[in-house]
A and B are shown apart, each in its own frame.
Chain A
Amino acid sequence: MSSAVRNSIRFLLNGETVELSGFAPDLTLLDWLRLDRRLTGTKEGCAEGDCGACTVLVGRMIDGMLTYESVNACIRFVGSLDATHVVTVEHLNRPDGELAPVQQAMVDLHGSQCGFCTPGIVASLHALWLSDPEPGVKDIERALQGNLCRCTGYEPIVRAALAASKIEPDEDNDRLVAAREATATALTELADGARVEIDHPEGKTFIPADADDLAEIYEANPEATIVAGSTDVGLWVTKGMRDIAPVIFVGHLTELQAIEETEDGLKIGAGVSYSMARGAILSQLPQLTELWDRLGGEQVRNMGTIGGNIANGSPIGDTPPPLIALGATLTLRKGSARRTLPLEDFFIEYGKQDRAKGEFVESVTVPPSPEDAHFAVYKISKRRDEDISALCAAMLVVLDEENRVATARIAFGGMAGTPKRAKAVEHSLTGANWGWSTIQAAQGELEKDYSPLNDWRASADYRMRVAQNLLTRFFLETSGAPARLDTSEPVMMEAGE
């Protein structure tokens, strides 16, 4: 156990330093901003991280760099904010009080109508403006995946983002740039390496000093809820009204955020967010690009972690199917003991995982694939972006010199109570000639592997039919035939009138 224990958290809010103690472990950032601080520019639209009306920026030190990311304040817990800089719309204007470039462009190009989504949109676009000097239309759309607007149809908002990108952030037009060095210094000083424990009648909050401290706290408090990005646990509170105390926050633990090349493959710490992983993962596995950019919205990708996506055991998480197809292994830790198992074995049945009391997901390792492997991932959802998959398919096939299937690893999400391999399909493919009749035979085998559900995302019939058709798509793509919608850069018209 580390020596020092603090009983308060400390972070920056806009232009001031805040020290908080005695708060509930499930206190959300949004409620605190609106009810305690009366910063009412940040709105509640859905309280589940899907509409983005509550978007704020959170700055934190990543690899020594002060980085601001858009997040959903509605499902972000205050206990996760130690040593960060929370920035609300009230702080996004210029240091001289005038409108910042994003705000000005939104006014000039008629980007607001009812105005309720607008502060969240301004926050998302401000984060993009700070981080991407030359965004294309698709970059803007990606930045806005987590922001719903019901009035404008988004056209003027995208135009505003393009217009703002012509102006570079500098000390005169942006408070965050102006204070960058001071903020970085302050955040570094606030991260003093102490364990934090907060007591409250509704339960206790732990903020471990480091990964070892986490292991120790969790072993001693196995009933605790581990919260990393809170993109799932947040909804347990805001929608399920569940009691999650005691809570251990882990989003700050840099040891869990490492991505390293090891002998066994690419090792990804459980605390790596989708956004942090994007560069490293996509450079090795470009086939994951589309999935990665369609997983949640930008705010969710900034918060949600790969470890969380696995640990919650959801049958519709989007990372397990590709990780299973790639043969990934999972490392779990309890106290100082670690064990490693194939990821697919972690998922036992709906709601049940192979995880002991006090044991937590530490990392996932993706072994290298054969260079000649064909690998593809397909996410099927009612709406293209920021939608939970009706089904998600990952297919990996290695062909031998005679065009026969040497290896087949195929996994689906949304087709069963867990992310699951299609063993019957794999079996029928293995050794067979990679041709149309083999695919047709494999399509029939899918019905042995899965009995999908009817629900609001899709019917069982549709899930099965699409799963079969995705084998067709995969086959066509391995033979170079175009089988997907053209998703090239859209064309923006000049703003008229």
Chain B
Amino acid sequence: MNHPFKPDLEARTVKGGAHVARPHDSAIKHVTGKAVYIDDMPEPTGTLHAYLGLSARAHAKILSMDLTRVAAAPGVKLVLTAADIPGVNDISPAGLDDEPVLAENEVKFYGQPVFCVVAETRNAARKAAQLAEIAYDDLPYATDVVEAMEAGHGHVCAPLTLKRGDVEAGLAKAANRLKGEMRVGGQDHFYLEGHISMAIPGEDDEVTVWASTQHPSEIQHMVGHALGVPSHSVNVQVRRMGGGFGGKETQGNQFAALAAIAAKRLNVPVKIRPDRDDDMSITGKRHDFHIGYDVGYDDEGRILAFDGTFAARCGYSSDLSGPVTDRALFHADNCYFYEDVRLQSRPMMTNTVSNTAFRGFGGPQGLIAAERIVEEIAYKLGRDPLEIRKANFYGGDGRNLTPYHQTVEDNIIGRIVDELEESSDYQARRQAIVEFNANSPVIRKGIALTPVKFGISFTATWYNQAGALVHVYRDGSLHLNHGGTEMGQGLNTKVAQALAEEFQVDFSMIKITATNTGKVPNTSATAASSGTDLNAMAAVDAARQIKDRLIDFAADKYSVPKETVVFEPNRVRVGNQVFSFGDFVDQAYMGRVQLSAAGFYKTPKIHWDRSTGKGRPFYYYAYGAAVSEVSVDTLTGEYQVDRVDVLHDVGKSLNPAIDKGQVEGAFIQGMGWLTTEELWWDDKGRLRTHAPSTYKIPLASDRPRIFNVKLADWSENREMTIRRSKAVGEPPFMLPVSVLEAISMAVASIDDYRNCPRLDAPATPERVLMAVERLKAGA
């Protein structure tokens, strides 16, 4: 065999194994522009381009739809309406048949796709889509969650109640009681690469779809459903996404289905890529919440009873709103033990785009309620919110049971908070800020330390499984495929590192290949922070199967005990002999050993009964905490984040550089959610912040002026996860709740910290100024 690789056969460790801070596997391709995204792929001859026609009403009957001018526009080849869908006109991920590919008879939000035009160029299709003449009969609508409740809108799916103890009795007997409400805004994902699909027709009923999706198996299922063909006829591939954040868990279905329908109908490849404004108008976002709380607490600030309602702007259909609102309830405790508790979700139907997964998946909206309650109690009692937090942490006899009856067994929040309080010099800085505020008429400062506990596992227990496909070739190079998708989070890099460690070969020996429903079937969405936990374990399972065969082969061939066949860096020791890994596997090939394996993993220990609200939905928890300090201009409401210190738990990190990048990135993204990112609908129910000119995600200059991020390097997962690491994608998203609370403290200084400012999110300069004015007015 000719070996193109020259691995170091003397190495003491492999290059790019586990726990190493190596760069993202595509980093060089990223910086040179050579990383291929779907729109960069060469288009097969004859490729046509599709574009969507959208409704211009928030809720209306379609009286008539005249598409003559659309069809007659230059370059147009096909116009599709609901009637042209060969299979079922539905892509509801919840299986509730409430989400048409194209609306028929009735539109339920402004911007809902009603037809699809296919033309020779994208520009031609886009221009033609403007030419439709649609007559509507307007119906009543509500875009806001509170308006929807007032208008008596229904739920898009079954609500959930979690309870433990007797909340009414608990509230009645508590020494102190407070009630309040909070509004928390939604968030657009603003992945830099918008949605896109390219479908290439095959023979019989086959079609291949390239999609920018976190969930290729669902795309496969939905395309089959809409085409009326079995899943085996649909092949879906994903090499990488230009960002996902949850926005590509279900939202790619529509584009993929339409591209595939058009491609099969015309027997040519069809690509569909909405403009950014359309992408933001027609794909779901993070749910806005209205939270109501009724709390009983004692004079030490211990929360005795909490009765909470969590109403969410779900949009016109269910999508993932069920599990999203469930997860809000699962995180309404954050790190705190409630003696008597009742938490209820209200997944409200609204005449807006159907909201969906977004990093944290409802968890942030639940957690923020707990932090608001802590803040309220602290102001009522005249204490530092940090003291209230510590008084309520899980821990101690009988204080470890969550509202969903899972026992917290791996609690490290106390140590994290203590270390961070010390390293950030929290107490001295808080004192200095109080003194500064006393002498500063215009600029006020605030500081807050907030903790995070986040449950890891899909609450849909069956999603906690994964597959992988590993081939070893005769030259010792490896082909890695797994069911996860790469959206920038470094999943492929971490899985390959785990595989390199397992086989004891350098990272460069492994080729990471596009996710493909034909290689690993029935995959779960790459979501819930679970990508590495699940897929790396599956890849390692595949590796172990191959290694076991290799060991058997070597023990037999060289007549040595199996224990003496050892995988060392880039080589294999067999008794007293040493072979390079490549030579060794070539021998195995010649010995007719199968050098390929399908690996599988399912998360142990978890179970969840939604009907009783009891179980162990989470395998383990990830923890973290942040201290944020801000300055606020009380004349304008403008603010600046002066300093942030983070200590975050990722267990024993598989790749500290990638994990730290996740923590930093999540922090800034979460800060955007709570500060400048505002979704604004006009009185016609039209989203008006649908492009970066109007929807403002953080810039480099919005970073904290000092930003210290540390991983808790002493932490190891007490569960048997992949090399004792922990999931990292979502948990740090909630650390910037500290920014919101710090702004709140700066505002509270206006009336000497006597009142909780009840600052809603996003805390735009406008909301901050209005809170300042409220306190000045003595409200």
Interface residues of A (CB under 8 A from B): 31, 34, 38-48, 50-51, 53, 88-90, 92-93, 99, 102-103, 106-108, 110-119, 122, 138, 140-142, 144-145, 147-158, 238-239, 241, 380, 382-388, 390, 455-459, 461-462, 465-466, 469-470, 472-473, 476, 481-487, 490-491, 493, 496-497
Cβ 8 A contact of A383, one of B130, B194, B664, B699: B699
What's the least CB distance linking A295 to chain B, in Å? 13
What's the least CB distance linking A138 to chain B, in Å? 8
Q: Closest 3 CB pairs between A and B?
A: A41-B33, A114-B488, A116-B242
Cβ 8 A contact of A53, one of B192, B244, B667, B698: B192
The B666-690 residues at the A interface (CB cut-off 8 A) are 666-669, 676, 678, 680, 682, 688-689
What's the least CB distance linking A87 to chain B, in Å? 12
What's the least CB distance linking B126 to chain A, in Å? 7
Cβ 8 A contact of B665, one of A39, A50, A90, A151: A151
Q: A113-B489, A153-B667, A157-B700 are in contact. Are A40 and B657 (CB under 8 A)?
A: no
Q: A115-B240, A148-B192 are in contact. Are A156 and B664 (CB under 8 A)?
A: yes
Contacts of A115 in B (CB 8 A): 24, 26-27, 29-30, 35, 240, 242, 488
Given contacts A99-B31, A108-B23, 9 further A-B contacts (CB under 8 A): A102-B31, A145-B701, A153-B668, A155-B709, A382-B765, A383-B696, A466-B636, A485-B443, A497-B21
**A150 engages B32 (CB within 8 Å):** no
**A118 engages B691 (CB within 8 Å):** no
**B689 engages A456 (CB within 8 Å):** yes
**B24 engages A119 (CB within 8 Å):** no
Let me know if B255 is at the binding interface, CB within 8 A.
Answer: no
Contacts of A458 in B (CB 8 A): 766
**A145 engages B699 (CB within 8 Å):** yes
**A47 engages B242 (CB within 8 Å):** no
**A47 engages B33 (CB within 8 Å):** no
Q: Could you count the A-B residue pairs with CB atoms below 8 Å apart for me: how many are there? A: 283
**B490 engages A456 (CB within 8 Å):** no
**A156 engages B32 (CB within 8 Å):** no
Contacts of B241 in A (CB 8 A): 114
Contacts of B770 in A (CB 8 A): 461-462
What's the least CB distance linking B512 to chain A, in Å? 14
What's the least CB distance linking B740 to chain A, in Å? 16
**A241 engages B130 (CB within 8 Å):** yes
- Determine the distance from Cα of A484 to Cα of B633 in the docked complex, in whole angstroms: 7
Let me know if B104 is at the binding interface, CB within 8 A.
Answer: no
Contacts of A493 in B (CB 8 A): 706-708
Contacts of A39 in B (CB 8 A): 33
Residue of A whose beta carbon sits closest to that of B658: A110
Residue of A whose beta carbon sits closest to that of B30: A115
- Determine the distance from Cα of A314 to Cα of B617 in the docked complex, in whole angstroms: 55
Let me know if B28 is at the binding interface, CB within 8 A.
Answer: yes
Contacts of A114 in B (CB 8 A): 191-193, 240-244, 487-488
Let me know if B640 is at the binding interface, CB within 8 A.
Answer: yes
Let me know if B276 is at the binding interface, CB within 8 A.
Answer: yes
**B688 engages A456 (CB within 8 Å):** yes
Let me know if B703 is at the binding interface, CB within 8 A.
Answer: yes
Let me know if B525 is at the binding interface, CB within 8 A.
Answer: no
Contacts of B488 in A (CB 8 A): 112-116, 151
Cβ 8 A contact of B33, one of A51, A119, A138, A483: A119
Contacts of A99 in B (CB 8 A): 28, 31-32
**B635 engages A153 (CB within 8 Å):** no
What's the least CB distance linking A205 to chain B, in Å? 17
A-B contact pairs, 24 of them (CB 8 A): A41-B34, A42-B33, A45-B194, A46-B692, A48-B693, A50-B691, A99-B32, A107-B31, A113-B665, A115-B24, A115-B27, A115-B242, A145-B699, A145-B701, A382-B676, A383-B676, A459-B766, A466-B635, A469-B769, A472-B635, A483-B442, A483-B635, A484-B443, A490-B706
**A383 engages B240 (CB within 8 Å):** no
- Determine the distance from Cα of A40 to Cα of B245 in the docked complex, in whole angstroms: 24
Q: A114-B191, A148-B697, A497-B21 are in contact. Are A106 and B708 (CB under 8 A)?
A: no
Let me know if B702 is at the binding interface, CB within 8 A.
Answer: yes
**A112 engages B633 (CB within 8 Å):** no
- Determine the distance from Cα of A385 to Cα of B692 in the docked complex, in whole angstroms: 12
- Determine the distance from Cα of A145 to Cα of B633 in the docked complex, in whole angstroms: 22
- Determine the distance from Cα of A322 to Cα of B765 in the docked complex, in whole angstroms: 23
Number of interface residues of B (CB under 8 A): 95
**B24 engages A150 (CB within 8 Å):** no
**A497 engages B701 (CB within 8 Å):** no
Q: A48-B691, A144-B699, A155-B707 are in contact. Are A112 and B276 (CB under 8 A)?
A: no
- Determine the distance from Cα of A156 to Cα of B663 in the docked complex, in whole angstroms: 12
Cβ 8 A contact of A384, one of B665, B666, B701: B701
Residue of A whose beta carbon sits closest to that of B767: A462
- Determine the distance from Cα of A138 to Cα of B193 in the docked complex, in whole angstroms: 27
The B704-722 residues at the A interface (CB cut-off 8 A) are 705-711
Q: A110-B657, A382-B696, A388-B693 are in contact. Are A152 and B664 (CB under 8 A)?
A: yes
Q: A151-B243, A465-B769, A469-B635 are in contact. Are A48 and B692 (CB under 8 A)?
A: yes
Contacts of B709 in A (CB 8 A): 155
Contacts of B31 in A (CB 8 A): 99, 102-103, 106-107, 111-112, 118-119, 122
**A385 engages B701 (CB within 8 Å):** yes
What's the least CB distance linking B742 to chain A, in Å? 14
Let me know if B159 is at the binding interface, CB within 8 A.
Answer: no
Contacts of B638 in A (CB 8 A): 380, 384, 485
- Determine the distance from Cα of A316 to Cα of B126 in the docked complex, in whole angstroms: 29
- Determine the distance from Cα of A41 to Cα of B39 in the docked complex, in whole angstroms: 11
Cβ 8 A contact of A113, one of B28, B661, B667, B700: B661
Contacts of A53 in B (CB 8 A): 192
Residue of B whose beta carbon sits closest to that of A120: B192
Residue of B whose beta carbon sits closest to that of A490: B705
Cβ 8 A contact of B24, one of A40, A112, A472: A112
What's the least CB distance linking A85 to chain B, in Å? 18
Contacts of B190 in A (CB 8 A): 148, 150
Most buried by B among A113, A158, A386: A113
- Determine the distance from Cα of A142 to Cα of B676 in the docked complex, in whole angstroms: 19
Let me know if B608 is at the binding interface, CB within 8 A.
Answer: no
Contacts of A483 in B (CB 8 A): 442-443, 633, 635
Residue of B whose beta carbon sits closest to that of A103: B31
What's the least CB distance linking B7 to chain A, in Å? 22
- Determine the distance from Cα of A487 to Cα of B700 in the docked complex, in whole angstroms: 14
**B665 engages A153 (CB within 8 Å):** yes
Interface string of B31-73 (1 = CB under 8 A from A): 1111111011010000000000000000000000000000000
- Determine the distance from Cα of A485 to Cα of B36 in the docked complex, in whole angstroms: 43
**A142 engages B33 (CB within 8 Å):** no
Contacts of B705 in A (CB 8 A): 490-491
- Determine the distance from Cα of A38 to Cα of B698 in the docked complex, in whole angstroms: 31
Contacts of A152 in B (CB 8 A): 661, 664-665, 668
**B700 engages A51 (CB within 8 Å):** no
- Determine the distance from Cα of A158 to Cα of B245 in the docked complex, in whole angstroms: 23
Let me know if B337 is at the binding interface, CB within 8 A.
Answer: no
